[in-house]
Structure 1
Amino acid sequence: MSEASYDVAIIGGGPAGAAMAVALRDLAPFLSVVMLERTDYDTHRPGETLSPDLRIPLSRLGVWSSFLRDGHLASRGTSSCWSRAEPRIQDTQMSPWGSAWHLDRARFDERLSLEAARQGVRVLRLTTLLDVESIAKEGYRLHLSQRKTGALTLRARFVVDATGWKATFAMTQGARRRIRDRCFTVHGAFQLRPGESFPTDALVESCPEGWWHSARLPSDCVAVTLVGDGDSLHGLRWATPEPWAALLEQAPVTQARLAACDFAGEPLVAAPVLVGELDQMHGERWLAVGDAACTHDPLSAQGIFSALDSALLAAEALEQYLRGEEDALCAYEQTLHLRFNEHLHRRSRTYLEEQRWPDAPFWKNRHTAFPALTPAAGQRSAPAPTGLAP
């Protein structure tokens, strides 16, 4: 049986993968592109809070108008209780790009996937990569599993890894992730009671164990996330919500906002948070994009923006590479590396601003992690924390 062949196979249909598919079709419509997504966009995807400059990459991708129609919740910005007990707001209402946004992540991801399909990308949902076979200058043979039809294979001249922090394809090519920090999040859902109101700004509130993030999402859901590490949350069990809820009671500003809500009763969702980058972001006929290349601290609230931005950069680099510019992929990797180092500098300064619990394990770990980091020339002071629901 003959195999389908494509110029580019994108593994992963999240924001980075789908954005790259759209951008690549725009830059080089003659290329055949297939995108593989392991879900049907129906799995749990915690909402996220994004800054107004999200409008920039979405406009470049041609999906800003459809984004506005999709029911995401506009926000005035983020309040933070960081280095102080009283909240201060970083108001975005005067931003030239408009309001901040609380996303319905499943809807957002699927919207980008639908746009990719509209642009001529073949989108294979419920499809998982099983194995990779190099076929020299012809590229790669991908062995796949589809939930509905079973096993299949396809060929691709070039592969884009958009599989998130696991970087599934890049790891098969010898790449390894340089981890700069390890945390994890524990996420719980609340429901706003009928007739009650909830602030449109997200809230970041630091605590001895780490920091809390809370935000109202579409459908009157309020997402509440605790970010900690293995030392600060050691010994706690998340099979039941009581230990998590007990810590939440010690976050007074977050707790006060939740007075208008009821706990939804759904199981808590725990997930790792790795701050790091691949030691190799491209190789022979492949590159990594989004979280597969670099994973940022969720405190920056730049995960989605960085994924879209890196996808646009990667699409340009790949189009140049396929036209014979051999250095294009190296330049792409160098740009991401420089931006990741800038992120580490900003992150270090922001965590050092919180000095109320210097002996608490979480803060002691953060304060001593990068003592040698010094700001790059011309760098500004650290911005106020914005945060997201990772």
Structure 2
Amino acid sequence: MDGIRYDVAVLGGGPAGAALSLALRRHSGLRVALFERSTYAQPHLGETLPPDSRRLLAQLGVWEAFARQGHLRSMGSCSRWGASSLGYNDHLRSPWGTGWHLDRARFDRMLADEATRHGVDVRTGTAVTEWKALEDGGHRLFLPVEGDAPRAFVDARFVVDATGRSATFATSQGARRHTVDRAFGLCGTFALQPGRTVDALTLVEACEDGWWYSARMPGDQVVFGLMGDRDSLQGLLPKDAEAWRARMARAPETLGRLEACAFTGEPLRAVPANVACLDLLHGEDWLAVGDAAFTLDPLSSQGTSQALRSAHQAADAVSRYLRGDFTALRLHEVRVRHQFQEHLRIREGYYRLERRWPSAPYWRNRQQSHAPLPFAAASNPLSVGKNA
């Protein structure tokens, strides 16, 4: 691979990076390389795809491969939010059918395999952390080597940063992450006890400390998470699962689900849940996508589906840019800004619905106005496209 030149190098093989690589190959024929630091073997916390993701998977050409994986069907969600009674949002009336509780490791691996099948040069176990700009445009990316082996590299006309929240490449180019809301969660996954079960609905339950999330996962497991912030979860540590469970007493629906599981008190996992965006989404020869570009509130349950959606949009922008349409990246950025601002608007409305604990730190923090965004308000992207 040393010295090979690609049209596009994608750093990060999660859903956004793998889907973008696949879309570029299928629709433009560009020479694409995908570099992923993992081998897709590590476990992920459970995630859910909504029913309309079937359309996104079909557009990528991976619907059949996805369907063969047998992910657990999701029948919808229920929530105790803003009131003491449960509200339901089932998928019975969805024209797309049910959603899915994902085995994320298998899902990511499938996307990478499909990218390989369509001609993407996929390199797993390859963390690209060094690069330099080339005089004639593009970047030289240095690959990890062992021992005293010669330093290997590849060149790329264009780089896509899909490295997640770290946005490793974009921040090296001067981009900075603007955080609207600093939040995190403490999560654990537990096996169902023999003969016990929980329904296939995702459950969201607000409490004084923040809100609980739980969902059935493939393999007779259930994932639980308490989402809060530094003020509401002060002193609560991942290793103290018993204290975490004690707080669940304020969320009786969630507690009922945990009692169906073999709770062993094993250490939990702390996961970031910041709502944030980059102040710079692209340069002349690079673009940030997925969580590298912006991160949504997990309350929306749109992380993976948004990654797939943004991959389609970004692949089209990159392809047009490399064909000489130098407005493509700017127009893509306007669309992304508009999507992020719309997310903030909808999110604010949901948090204002919950008024049972107005003086509790978590809810008081959510009612405060966020700092101004470090970029101009985005216009309607359709009107911008007409004026371009």
TM range (shorter): over 0.9
Could you list the per-position Cα deviations for residues 210-238 of structure 1 after superposition, in whole angstroms to 9, with x for gaps in the alignment?
A: 10000000000100011000010112222
User: Partners of 1:344 and 1:73 in 2: how far apart?
Assistant: 30
Structure 2 partner of 1:83: 82
Aligned equivalents of 1:278, 1:105: Cα separation in 2: 25
Q: Does the residue aligned with 1:325 lie in a helix, a strand or coil?
A: coil
- Contact kept? 2:2, 2:153, Cα under 8 Å: no
DSSP-derived class of the 1:101 partner: strand
Residue 265 (structure 1) shift: 4.8
Match of 1:56 in 2: 55
Aligned-partner Cα distance in 2 for 1:77–1:302: 14
CA RMSD after TM alignment = 2.1
Structure 1 residue matching 2:45: 3-state secondary structure: coil
Asked if the contact 1:9–1:34 (Cα under 8 Å) also holds between the matched residues in 2, the reply is yes
- Taking a change above 3 Å as real, the CA distance of residues 353 and 370 of structure 1, as seen in their structure-2 partners, is farther
Alignment partners' CA distance in 1, 2:145 and 2:219: 32
Q: Which residue does 2:176 correspond to in 1?
A: 176
Task: Give the aligned partner of residue 386 of structure 2.
Answer: none
- Report the Cα offset of residue 370 of structure 1: 4.2
Q: Is the 8 A contact 2:80 2:205 kept in 1?
A: yes
Q: State the distance in 2 between where 1:148 and 1:111 align.
A: 32
**TM-superposed deviation, 1:336:** 0.4
- d(CA) in 2 for partners of 1:147, 1:261: 44
Residues 126 and 147 in structure 1, CA contact (< 8 A), matched pair in contact too: no
CA distance in 2 between counterparts of 1:314 and 1:149 reads 38
- Determine the structure 2 residue equivalent to 1:242: 242
Whole-angstrom distance in 2 between the partners of 1:377 and 1:22: 30
Structure 1 match to 2:121: 122
Is 1:131 matched up with 2:130?
yes
Match of 1:36 in 2: 35
Asked if 1:308 corresponds to 2:308, the answer is yes
Q: Is 1:108 aligned with 2:111?
A: no
Aligned counterparts of 1:187 and 1:147: Cα–Cα separation in 2: 36
Q: Does 1:67 align with 2:66?
A: yes
TM-score normalised by L of structure 2 = 0.93
Q: Secondary structure at the match of 1:185?
A: strand
3-state DSSP of counterpart to 1:248: helix
Matched ranges for 1:9-28 at <5 A: 9-28=9-28
Shift of 1:86: 1.9
8 Å CA contact retained: 2:2, 2:154:
no
Distance 1:319 1:377, change over 3 A: closer
Distance 2:129 2:233 in 1: 35
* Cα separation, 1, equivalents of 2:369 and 2:128: 36
- Residue in structure 1 matched with residue 356 of structure 2 by the alignment: 356
Contact 2:142 2:153 in 1 (8 A): yes
- Given the superposition, is the C-alpha separation of residues 198 and 146 from structure 1 closer, same or farther in structure 2, using an over 3 Å criterion? farther
Report the equivalent of 1:208: 208
What does residue range 271-310 of structure 1 map to in structure 2 within 5 Å? Answer: 271-310=271-310
Structure 1 counterpart of 2:353, one-letter code: E
Shift in CA distance, 187/148, structure 1 to aligned 2, threshold 3 Å:
farther
**Structure 2 CA distance for aligned equivalents of residues 63 and 72 of structure 1:** 14
Separation of aligned partners in 1, 2:148 and 2:318? 31
Contact 2:51/2:94, CA 8 A, preserved across alignment: yes
**TM-score, structure 1 length as denominator?**
0.92
CA 1:265/1:63 → structure 2, altered by over 3 Å: closer, same or farther?
Answer: farther
Q: Give, in whole Å, the separation in 2 of the partners of 1:208 and 1:148.
A: 53
Separation (CA, whole Å) in 2 of partners of 1:204 and 1:329 = 37
Unaligned runs of 5+ in 1: 379-390
Match of 1:160 in 2: 160
Deviation at 1:248, TM superposition (A): 1.6
CA distance in 1: counterparts of 2:95 and 2:264, whole angstroms = 36
Cα distance in 2, alignment partners of residues 371 and 131 from structure 1: 33
**Shift of residue 101 of structure 1?**
1.3
Checking the alignment, whether the CA contact within 8 Å between 1:127 and 1:146 is kept in structure 2 is no
Match for residue 366 of structure 1?
366
The 1:290–1:115 alpha-carbon spacing in structure 2 relative to 1, beyond 3 Å, is same
Structure 2 distance, partners of 1:371, 1:24, is 36
CA deviations over 1:21-52 (Å, ceiling 9, x no partner): 010001111x2110000000011311112211
Contact preservation (8 Å) 1:127, 1:147: no
Q: 1:279 to 1:20 in 2, by over 3 A?
A: same
Partner of 1:141: 140
- Any idea what SS the aligned residue of 2:223 has? strand
Query: Are the aligned partners of 2:192 and 2:261 in contact in 1 as well (CA < 8 Å)?
Result: yes
- SS where residue 181 of structure 2 aligns? strand
